[in-house]
Structure 1
Amino acid sequence: LLHRMLSGTPFVGRLISAEDLVGALRGRKTPLEVEAIRRAVETTEALLDEIGAFLRPGRSEREIQAFVHERMRARGVEPAWDPDYCPIVAIGPEAPIGHAMPGDRSVAPGTLVHVDIGIRQDGFCSDMQRVWYVLREGEESPPLEVQRAFQAVRLAILAGFQALRPGVQGWEVDAAARRTLTQQGYPEYLHALGHHIGRTVHDGSTVLGPRWERYGQTPYGVVEAGNVFTLELGVRVPGHGYIGLEEDVLVTPRGAEWISHPQTELWVIRP
């Protein structure tokens, strides 16, 4: 647009985009910025503990979101994105995947409860996903197909974590996670594995994503020490709902470091 506006002037051909420079600058977090993100993640994890205590059969997606908004206000933080979609709460097999407003679907035995939540605290953001299973009467643990899907998601995120280090391109990290998931017999997720976080939930130019047209050149960006990324993916379990996990990680000169505490087992809600 700027080049068209300057058509016929001496400035044509003399200006280049600052996108690469600004993207790299925003992606390289200082130690103080990393500490601010850590604090936002700690608060988010405390909120997730409160959500887990609030969940019980009969609670609706809308009620859960309203509860989280009240707890955010009490802690003096705000949603990291549009409050209508933060947190995203999805319950059961009929819930849509991705950015959708909560509805009237309620916590019920045999269903999965999926929460995608991020906060902005002191100018910096978190972005995490967690999942619970609601036990049926007489069940002591989730069904095997649910446990198997959870472990598949967890292992795929771990593969991405292990591939994340300075010098690799974003698509290589995504490929490691995507390959791990599909080798376990699950369909590939239809989005990127991860993105920068910082002052916003998308704060930098490199995307940990596949080499698909819609991502342009962003998956070819080079990972650098000081970057903070999300790692997120999931699978739908027929008859139960969606298992999605999302972790926040720091890239160090030696590799990746967890900022969030990874969910390593499926949390349960007892009837």
Structure 2
Amino acid sequence: MAASVVGTSSTLAATTGAGRADDRNSAPLGARLQGVQHFGVTVQNMDRAFAFYTEVLGGTEVMRDGDFKGEPIHYTILADQEIDAHERRVDPRTIGVPDLAGGTQRLDVRFVQFENVVIELLQYRDAGQPMGTGDSWAEPRDHMSPAYPRSMHICFYIRDDVDFDRFITDLEAECARRGMTQVKANRTVAVRTEEERRAAPTSANAIKIRDGKSNGWSLIYCKGPEGEQLEFVQVLDPVKRTFAEALDRRRQMIASRG
């Protein structure tokens, strides 16, 4: 949860550039990294997902590319799944492995820039569909609980002076207006039906921790337009200072390696 919201990879990248090149390849693995470059989300509908991350959440397009096919890209991404299918003696298609090798399916990507992270949207589509549009070749997974192992999420950092509860209300309203019916935030009170979720007071839009080590941390979980797991957080003092001090210590550690 917390790792998504602090530090800028560009700052760390600049810092890690210090030092002699002949020492870099023998340094600990962590010293050879430049922070987090992006988070990736495989989507069912590229147009819908791109509109959400750019028009709704305000990211900006970095680049788009696609129509990727052929054995090098197929095995680069999917070799482990091919091995799994072979060991289970099943058709790879039945466990969600597209045929990039033969070109029956293609891969398209778009990168979206936010202040401190890039999000990559990926779509695997049938070759006959236009590049970067339409629906994915595979059905989305049914299991959507973040408690499932291998689940991932994207965390967005809400600015200090924003009313968190109002933000969630406005986010849901804007997405409903656009027909993005998957975008539904949780509530901090017990709800058993969609009607109860919608009827919950706005004060239940986010949990606000005001004691212990997480004092100043507020959060809520929310599904994105593709059913992907999102988190929105606001980080105020004193926990904000905890993360700022940790970032300063890391920068000092990296600088000392130079």
> With structure 2 as the length reference, what TM-score do the two structures score?
0.30
When Rg is computed on C-alpha atoms for both structures, the one with the higher figure is 2
**Length-normalised TM-score, structure 1:** 0.29
